[in-house]
Structure 1
Amino acid sequence: MDKKEKELVSKLLLEPRDFKGMEIYAHRGHWNTAGSYENTLTSIRKAANIGVHGVELDVRISADSVLYLHHNPDVFENISFSSVSSKDIDRVILPNDDHIPRLDATLDLLKQYPKLKVNFELKGDIPAKFLTIYVRRINDLVMRSGIHERIFFSSLSLPLLVASKNYNAKIKTQSINYADFDMSKLVAAKVDMINFSYAMSMKRSELIQRAKENKIVVCSGAGKFVDVMSLLDRNPDVQMINTDEPDLVMQVYIKSDVKEGND
């Protein structure tokens, strides 16, 4: 962060905003802080501790069909995650000394935070031979956890969301839509939410209105704190925000909430 951006952040932190019931999600957990790393149990704990409404986490599958939190398609350089066994994945030590967490261990941890909502992103680049077991296994684990009511699945792949919905209609779905927008396809797929890019949220307010008219909850992927503040000023109809700087956003959220309570 350069000097100019630091000055802007310092200024924005002092300005309360009207969040209008908007929910704040920590993108890959709260990883942008000391001792943390994305998609780890530590990042989930740190997110919960700063009071966010939810976390967004990525789910991948190993060669022997074990589910893990991991964003990138490779686990080692040029080695696909889905080509590596769980035994070898379990040996990986991340930069913050965490291991790559299994999904079942993640769900166990989430039970300790009953107010924390969870967005599990289903990765559209999963090899085709794994897709059926991937969809079924994540649904089965979530349902067995007993906390499925505060969990939803998102994906860039609409067919993957349809497959999940067909297998288990109890889990809500969110389409990540960063380019093309076809409301008829979203309605046909019975998605409950849509995640627009920051640019689309700022420039295409009519898309947000169309989504709301079809009773689809609108989320924005406004990663940086300054972008979140700009979005609040420009388009307050967004109902959820996914951010990489949840600690800064929550500082303003808490101040704004206290101010509203005193008015």
Structure 2
Amino acid sequence: MKRLFIYIMLLMGVILPSAAKNRAKQVIAHRGYWKTEGSAQNSISSLQNTYKIGVYGSEFDVHITRDGEVVVFHDDDVEGIKIENANYADIKDKRLKNGERIPKLQEYLAAAKLLGNMKLILEVKEHIQKSDEDRCIDATLKMVNEAGLADRTEYISFSKHACDYIVQHAPKSKVSYLNGDLSPREAKEAGYAGIDYEDSVYIDHPSWIKEARQLGLVTNVWTVNDLKEIKYFFRQGIDYVTTNEPEKAKAL
């Protein structure tokens, strides 16, 4: 009878598991905390805003240009200019919605060094050519190491090739796969530290969070903005939630 009562209370959201963590330490700001005045996605200001609200980490995306400059930007093109096929000079004067210049990774890391121990969740974007993904990763790892941020940087990608390449060339780094087509066991066998899947993947595979935990994998869910859904995943034992509403999620 007692077990039944606890189960019902958990479903109602009245109590949380005794192992529940500080929720602020489970929140990742998607492309930084950009839903504030004067900010923009993947901007240095969104990175700084994430630090100000005190959550686990700030997620951002990187591409490499034809002439070897790694830039922080989500889409694979800037106003129709394909980043992978362009030289940096072709996009250097383009602006984000808040007027900031598109950051170079080196500039972004320099800003991050000033922000305590906040984690950097670095997504290597898929490139048309796998050789360009390799170039992007090589340059990224070099800059992260030179900035002294290796222990604060975690890597994610939809590209299995990119994840495998990072595991091979930076075996001590935490790498999580985004695409959702690997079971926890398959991700473990690939050498990944975790799975970082869309909410619908976990809904379709309700045992995967528990299975991942049993295998010692970290779990993250993206991109969840509805607070009821965030509460649901916290109750399921998810390790991290990536959201466009990090301040609201932290308040949970």
TM-score normalized by structure 2?
A: 0.86
Q: Does 1:51 align with 2:54?
A: yes
Q: Does 1:40 align with 2:12?
A: no
Aligned partner of 1:214 in structure 2 is 215
Aligned partner of 1:127 in structure 2 is 129
Deviation at 1:167, TM superposition (A): 1.2
Aligned partner of 1:231 in structure 2 is 233
Deviation at 1:38, TM superposition (A): 0.4
Contact 1:60 1:70 in 2 (8 A): yes
What CA deviation, in whole Å up to 9, does each residue of 1:171-196 have, x standing for no partner? Answer: 21011133x23344312321001112
Letter in 2 for 1:26: A
The aligned runs of 1:77-96 (5 Å cut-off) are 77=80, 79-96=81-98
1:64 to 67, 83, 86: 67
Q: Give the gaps of 5 or more residues in structure 2.
A: 1-12
The aligned runs of 1:182-261 (5 Å cut-off) are 182-226=183-227, 227-233=229-235, 235=236, 237-250=237-250, 252-253=251-252
Letter in 2 for 1:35: G
Deviation at 1:128, TM superposition (A): 2.9
Q: Secondary structure at the match of 1:200?
A: helix
Aligned partner of 2:10 in structure 1 is none
Deviation at 1:64, TM superposition (A): 0.6
Q: Give the gaps of 5 or more residues in structure 1.
A: 1-14, 254-263
Deviation at 1:117, TM superposition (A): 0.5
Bigger drift between 146-155 and 193-202 goes to 193-202
Deviation at 1:127, TM superposition (A): 2.6
CA–CA distance in 2 between the matches of 1:173 and 1:141? 17
Contact 2:199 2:222 in 1 (8 A): yes
Aligned partner of 1:8 in structure 2 is none
Deviation at 1:32, TM superposition (A): 1.8
CA–CA distance in 2 between the matches of 1:221 and 1:151? 18
Matched residue count? 234
What CA deviation, in whole Å up to 9, does each residue of 1:144-179 have, x standing for no partner? Answer: 11121111110111221111111121221011133x
What CA deviation, in whole Å up to 9, does each residue of 1:75-96 have, x standing for no partner? Answer: 122x311122112322111210
Deviation at 1:50, TM superposition (A): 1.1
CA–CA distance in 2 between the matches of 1:143 and 1:71? 23
Q: Secondary structure at the match of 1:107?
A: helix
Bigger drift between 180-189 and 16-25 goes to 16-25
What CA deviation, in whole Å up to 9, does each residue of 1:128-148 have, x standing for no partner? Answer: 341222121111111111121
Aligned partner of 1:4 in structure 2 is none
Q: Secondary structure at the match of 1:205?
A: coil
Q: Secondary structure at the match of 2:207?
A: helix
CA–CA distance in 2 between the matches of 1:111 and 1:16? 39
Sequence identity, in percent? 23
Letter in 1 for 2:98: N
Letter in 1 for 2:219: V
Q: Does 1:25 align with 2:9?
A: no
Aligned partner of 1:257 in structure 2 is none
CA–CA distance in 2 between the matches of 1:166 and 1:90? 32
CA–CA distance in 1 between the matches of 2:54 and 2:134? 35
Aligned partner of 2:169 in structure 1 is 167
CA–CA distance in 2 between the matches of 1:142 and 1:187? 25
Letter in 2 for 1:75: V
Contact 1:196 1:220 in 2 (8 A): yes
